[in-house]
Structure 1
C-alpha cells in the first residue's frame, strides 16, 4: 500500500509542476487505475481502511485534474502529450468509467463526491472530443433515477448530470445538449414524479414517503439544482422549461418540506424563473437565448404564473414559513429585542414571485379576450400585504414596504417597483376613476407609484449621482421603470405633490420626535454644507430602522453599459449602435462627471477595509465632486419663495441636476445611449413644477 501511495503522489507532484514522471504513460495509467479501483475485502499490507480511502481520494482528484487540464489546454506540449496518452489508456483500454461510477454508492461521502467529479469531467471531455455519451455513465444515472432512494448514489448521479449539463451550457454545445436531454428524458420524468409532490393521483398512491428520510434534504437541493439546469437547457434548445412545468410541485414543496433550506431554495428557484433569470449565475446570456419564440415564452410564463396565482388564491402564503434572519455562524438575535428579525431574502423572493406573476397575468389578460377584474388583482395584493404584515408588523403605510424590504437589493427593488407601477397603471386604466380616488386606493393596496418614487429618492438622500449610477448600469431595470414613471408623472403632478406633502409631514413629525433620527442614513450621508437632507418616513419604527441604517453606496464602476433595447428611451431618435456604445463605460461617465479617477489598486485597498472612516472618506470625495456640479447646475430659480426646502422641491432639484448632467455627458458623446427621450421627460418635470407654483414661476 505504501509504495502505491508514494507512486501516486509522485505522479501528482510531477503533474502540478508540469513535468513528466520517470516512467512510461502506460505505467502511470496502471498505477492510477490500481489506486482508483474499488477493493473488496482486506488488502495485503494495508494498515487501516483510512489509508485506502486516502489513496482513493488522491487518485480520483488526480484523474479529475488531468482531464480538466487536457480540456483547457493548460499543460505544456510535452506534458500534454504524455498525460493525454495516460488518460486515453485509462478510459479506453482499462475501462476506468465502471470503477468511477461504482464509487457513487460509497458510504464515504467524500469518495462518492470525488468520483462524481472525476466521472463528470471525463464524460464532458469525451463528449467534447467525440460527441458520444459514456454508455456506462448514462446507464448508471438512468438506472439510479428510476429506482434509487435518497442517498449517496442518487446524490452523485444528480450532481454529475448537473455538472455535465452546466459545462455544455457554458460552451453553447446545443446539439450535444439536445442529445443528452433526449437520452435522459424518461428517467428524469420518472424521477420528478417520484420526488416532487405533484398534484397527481398516481403520486398520491406512491407507497414510499421519501421525505421522511434523513438524507432527503440534500437530495432535494441537488434535484432543484438539476431542475434549473434543465430549464436553462430548454431555453437553449427550444424545449420545455422544467421549472414552469413543475411549478405547482415546487410551490407545494415550499409548503410541505420539513427543512427550511429546501423551502428557501425552492422559493429562490421560482423567483429566478419568474424574473426570467434562470442560470444567470453560470450560463452565458447569449447562449440561453436559444430557439425559443415569443409564443413559447408566453406559454411557459403562463404555466408558471397560473400556478402561482392559483396557489395564492388557495392561501399558499399562509403556509410559507419564514425563519429569523441568518448569517455565517448561525441566527442573529438583536440585543434588546424580544423578536428576531425575519429572513428578508425569503420575504423578497416571495413578494417578487407574486408581484411579477400578477404583472404578467395583467399583460396576458390585456392581450386576450378573457380579461381580468380589478378586484381580482387587488385581492392578490391584499393577501401579500397580509403576509408581510405578519412578518414585519412595524410599518403602517403599505407603500413603505417596497423601499424598506428591498433596500439591500437594488435589482430586486427595481423589479418590484416596475411590477407595482404596471399593476397601478392597469388599475387606473380599468377603473376610470379620478386621479385622487385612484391614488387613495393605491395607497391602501401599497402600490402608489408616487409614494414609491419619493421613498426611493429619500433612500438615496436625493442624490442625483446615484440615479446616474442606476441609469448607466445594466444590473437593474431602473431605466425602464424610470421612463415609465416619468411618463405617468407628467399626467398626475397633483398626486406626486400630495405624496411629497405627506412625506414632508411625516419627516416633520419624525424630527420633532427626536433629533437623533435625522442622523440616520440609508444609501449615503450628505456633507454639512448640503442643502438637501434625507427625509425619513415617520411610519417606520426603530426595528425597521435597523434594517436600513447600515446601507452604503453601491459601486457600479464595473457595470456594463445600459441597453436601450425595449426600454422606450430611444423612441424618436436612434442612439449609437452596440459597437459604438462599447467604447463607453460607467467609468468614463463618472470620470467626466466627478473628476479624475482613483486608481484601481487604491480602490481595492480601500474596499478591503470595512472601517467607517474609509467609507466616510469615499463619500466625502464624492460629495466634493457633487458640490462642484451643484455650483454649475444651480437651481436657485426653482427655490420656493418661503425658502423652505420641501420634499417636492428636493425631488425636483434632484431630477433637474440629473437632467443637466446627462445633457452635458450626451453633448460630449460620453453617455452610453441616446437619452433624448429621457431628457424630454425630465424637462417635463421642471415644467410641471413651474406650472404648479405660478407665483414662484413669475419671479
Structure 2
C-alpha cells in the first residue's frame, strides 16, 4: 500500500510541475477550470494522503473519476522528459504543498500582470475564484502554526495574494479570515498569532501601494473597514507593555518591527489617499506610545527605526517611497491635520523635557550593510550614528515650528527656544568633530546634515519659520528697540538665525550656483519654498544680512583664511561663464562641490569660520534697524506672479528707507573696526573701488574681471550676490529654451529685487 501511495504522489507531483511550467509562461489552459482544483487545493492533498488506506483509495478514485478529462489530457504530456526516479523526498507531501502554493502565487501574479494574454488571464481568474469558494483561506490559515517555517512563510504569502486578489476584484473577504484577524489582534499579547495577521495586512497594503489601479482609495476602504477597531486595540496593548518585565523580549521586538511597518503604511495611506479611518490616525491620536519605545532598553536599530518614523510623520513624508505617481503634495491635508501635527509636536517636546535625548545611544560601531560586524582587517573607527543625530535634531526643530504656529506669546516662544535648543545643542556637541564654535551655534544645521540634503533643507526651513514667527510677534506687540536687539542676539545664541544658516549653506557648497539650480529643479527637497521665503526675508532684512556678512569676513580675516580666490569654481573666464547651465549638467554637481568643503571628510581642515558678535556690538549695529516684518506666507501657487508683483512694488518703495538705514549701520561698523587697529585692512573704500559697475547689461552687474582685491569688498556678501547673478542667468537661459520645469517668473523677480537693493546700497556711498 505504501508503494501505491508513493506512485500516486509522484504522478501528482508531475502533473503539478507541468501545470507550473505552463502558468509560469502565461500559457492558456485547455481544461475546464474545475478540473484543476484537485491539484491546487492543499486540503485535497491532506485527505488523499490519509493514513487510512481504504478512505484514501476511495477518495482518490472518486476524485479521479470526476476529473478524468484532466488526467487523460495531462497524461498525453510527454512524461519521458520527467525523471521518474525522483528521490522520495521530492515527492513528499511537503514538497507537493510548496509547489501547490507556488502555482497559486504565480497564477495570481499572472492575473495582475498586463502582459498576460486575455484568455489565459480569464482562465486563471476562474480557477482562483473556485479555489476561494472551497475555503482555501481557512486551510492556509491553519498552516500559520506549522513547525516548518518555510511552509508557514509560503502559506502566508499565498494567503496575502489571495486576499489582495479578492480586494482588487471587489470580492467580499471571507468571514472566517476576518474573524481570525480580529480575534488574534484583540487578544494580543496572549495570542501570538497576531504576528501573522500583521504580516498579512502589511503585505496587502504594500500591494495596494504598488498597484497602478486608479481605485486605490476604494480598494483600501473595503479592506480596512473590518480591522479599524481591532488594530486600535492591538496598538494599545502592544505599546502599553512593560518591556523590562517580559521574559522573551525577542517576541516583543518582532511585534514592534511588524507593527511599525504596518503603522507606517496606514499613515502613508492617510497622506496619499483620502480616507479617514481611526487606524490611519492612531499614531497621531496617541503619539506618546511610540515615543515611549525610544526610551525602552531595546537594541539601537529598533530606536533608529522608530525615531525615523516619527521624523517622517512630522515632515509629512511617510510612504513617499511607496507611492507611484501622485505624491503627498497633491493631496490636501484632511480636517484633522493641524490638530494631529500639534499633538505629535507637543508629545515630542514633552518627551525631550523628560530626558528623551539622554536615552539615545549615538556612540558605537557605525551600521554596516548586511550586519553590524566587519572583518578584523577592515575594522572601522567607532563614530556617532548620524541617522539618529539628524532625526533627533529634526524632531526638535520641527516640533518647535509646529507649536509656534498657534502660539501668540513671544515670551513663551523665547522660553521654549532657550530650553529645547539648549538641550539640542548640548546633545549634539560631543558628537561633532571639530566641535561647534561657541560664538556661532548656527552652524549646527550644516554640520549635522552635511550628508543629507533633504533633511538639511527641512531643518533650514523650520528654523526660518521659527524666526519669521518670532519677529512677526515682536512687530505685532510693538516691542521696544532694546527688546528687538535681545531677540536678534537670541537667534545667534540658540542657532536659528536665518542669515547665518543660509550663508553657511552657501559656503558649504562653495557658492556654486549649479548646486542651487539642482535644488530648484529637483522635487526631492523643499528648497524652492525655503529659497523663496528667504529671499523675501532678505529684501526686508538687508541690514542684518550685510552686518552678518561683515562679521563672517572679519573672522575669516583674523584666522588668515583667503576668502576670495579666482578659481574656476568661483571665477571663470568670461566666455566660459556664458555657457548654459542645463538641468542635466547641474544634476549631481553639488555632491562634488560639497565633498570638497566637507569638514567631516577633512579632519585636518580648520573649523568653520565663526561669527563673533557681542551683545554690545549687535545693539549698536542694529539700533536703527527697520522694524521686523511679519511672517512670510508659504509658497502656495508658485506659477502665479501676481503676489510677487505686489511685493516687488512694496519692496521698491521701501528701498530708500532701507538704504539710509544701511548707510548708518555701515558707518557705525567702520567706526567700530577703526578702533580695533585694523582700519586699513577692513576699510570698504566704496568710492575708489566700487563693487558693481553702474553700467551693465548682466542680470547682476558683478564682474570678476573688475572685482576688487579688498577683503571686505569680496567677502560673503559679494560671493552671495555673485552666486545669485549666475543662478539668475542660468534660469533665464533655461526658461527661454523651455527647459525649466516650472514658471520661474516670481523667483526671478525676487532675485532681481535683491540685486536692486544691493546696487542701491552701493551707489549710496
In 2, are the aligned partners of 1:237 and 1:291 still within 8 Å (CA)?
Answer: no
Q: Compute the displacement of 1:361 (Å).
A: 0.6
- What is the aligned partner in structure 1 of residue 397 from structure 2? 355
**More displaced stretch, 336-345 vs 298-307:** 336-345
Deviation readout 1:222-271 (Å, 9 max, x if unpaired): 10111122223445213441221231011001111512222111111111
- 1:669: Cα distance to partner? 4.7
1:9 and 1:663 map into 2 onto residues whose CA distance is: 64
Query: Equivalent residue for 2:756?
Result: 687
Alignment partner for residue 492 of structure 2, among 427, 443, 452? 443
Cα deviation code 1:65-107 (max 9, x no counterpart) = 2112213343213422332333233221x32111111122233
Whether contact under 8 Å (2:417, 2:494) holds in the other structure is no
Q: Which residue among 572, 586, 589 is the counterpart of 2:642?
A: 572
CA shift for structure 1 position 211: 7.6
In 2: Cα distance, 1:511 partner to 1:362 partner: 41
Q: Work out whether 1:346 is the aligned partner of 2:382.
A: no
In the other structure, the counterpart of 1:653 is 722
Task: Please name the residue that 1:490 is paired with.
Answer: 539
Which 5+ residue runs of structure 1 have no aligned equivalent? 198-202, 549-563, 576-628
Alignment of 1:99-110 (within 5 A): 99-110=139-150
Which residue of 431, 442, 455 maps to 1:391?
431
Q: What are the ranges of 5 or more consecutive residues in structure 2 without an aligned counterpart?
A: 1-8, 54-85, 578-592, 609-633, 646-696
Q: Are residues 510 and 345 of structure 1, via their aligned partners in 2, closer, same or farther at CA, if it must alter by over 3 Å?
A: farther
Contact 2:185 2:234 in 1 (8 A): yes
- Which of 28, 36, 39 is residue 28 of structure 1 equivalent to? 36
Instruction: Quickly say closer, same or farther: Cα 1:670–1:211, change in 2 above 3 A.
Output: farther
Which residue, out of 115, 119, 126, partners 1:74?
Answer: 115
Of 440, 464, 476, the residue aligned with 2:513 is: 464
Question: In the alignment, is the contact (CA less than 8 A) between 1:267 and 1:350 conserved in 2?
Answer: yes
Change (3 A) 1:143 1:196: same
Q: What is aligned with 2:623?
A: none
The equivalent of 2:131 in structure 1 is: 90
In 2 relative to 1, CA 414–37 (structure 1 residues): closer, same or farther, beyond 3 Å?
farther
TM-score (norm 2): 0.70
Does the 8 Å CA contact 2:98/2:154 hold for their aligned counterparts? yes
Report the counterpart of residue 180 of structure 1 in structure 2: 223
Judge conservation of contact 1:640–1:649 (CA < 8 Å) in 2.
no
Q: Which range moved further: 465-474 or 391-400?
A: 391-400
Q: Following TM superposition, by how much is the alpha carbon of 1:30 offset from its aligned partner in structure 2, in angstroms?
A: 1.3
Partner Cα separation in structure 2 for residue 68 and residue 445 of structure 1:
56
The aligned residue for residue 342 of structure 2 is 302
Shift of 1:633: 8.1
Match of 1:642 in 2: 710
Q: Is the 8 A contact 1:470 1:479 kept in 2?
A: yes
Map 1:51-66 to 2 at 5 A.
Answer: 52-66=93-107
Evaluate the alpha carbon distance shift between residue 500 and residue 518 of structure 1 in structure 2; reply closer, same or farther with a 3 A threshold.
closer
- Deviation readout 1:124-171 (Å, 9 max, x if unpaired): 212222341222221221122122549984332101112223444554
In 2, Cα distance between equivalents of 1:423 and 1:471:
23
Hey, what does 2:653 align to over in structure 1?
none
Query: 8 Å contact 2:257–2:302 — kept in the other structure?
Result: yes
1:11 maps to which residue? 19
Partner of residue 265, structure 2: 229
Tell me: CA distance 1:573–1:691, structure 2 relative to 1, closer, same or farther (3 Å).
Answer: closer
Secondary structure, in 3 states, of the residue corresponding to 2:456? helix
Which of the pair has more CA radius of gyration?
A: 2
Give the drift of 1:543. Answer: 4.8
1:19-64 deviation digits (Å, cap 9, x = unpaired): 2567654343211224896699989999559954444333222212
- Give the structure 2 partner of residue 602 of structure 1: none
Q: Deviations over 1:564-620 (max 9, x none)?
A: 961667452699xxxxxxxxxxxxxxxxxxxxxxxxxxxxxxxxxxxxxxxxxxxxx
2:509–2:597 Cα contact (<8 Å) kept: no
CA contact (8 A) 1:150 1:210 kept: no
The match for 2:156 is 116
The match for 1:401 is 444
Rounded to whole Å, the distance in 2 between the matches of 1:493 and 1:141 is 62
Is the 2:389–2:428 contact (alpha carbons within 8 Å) kept by the matching residues of 1?
Answer: yes
TM-score w.r.t. the length of structure 1 is 0.76
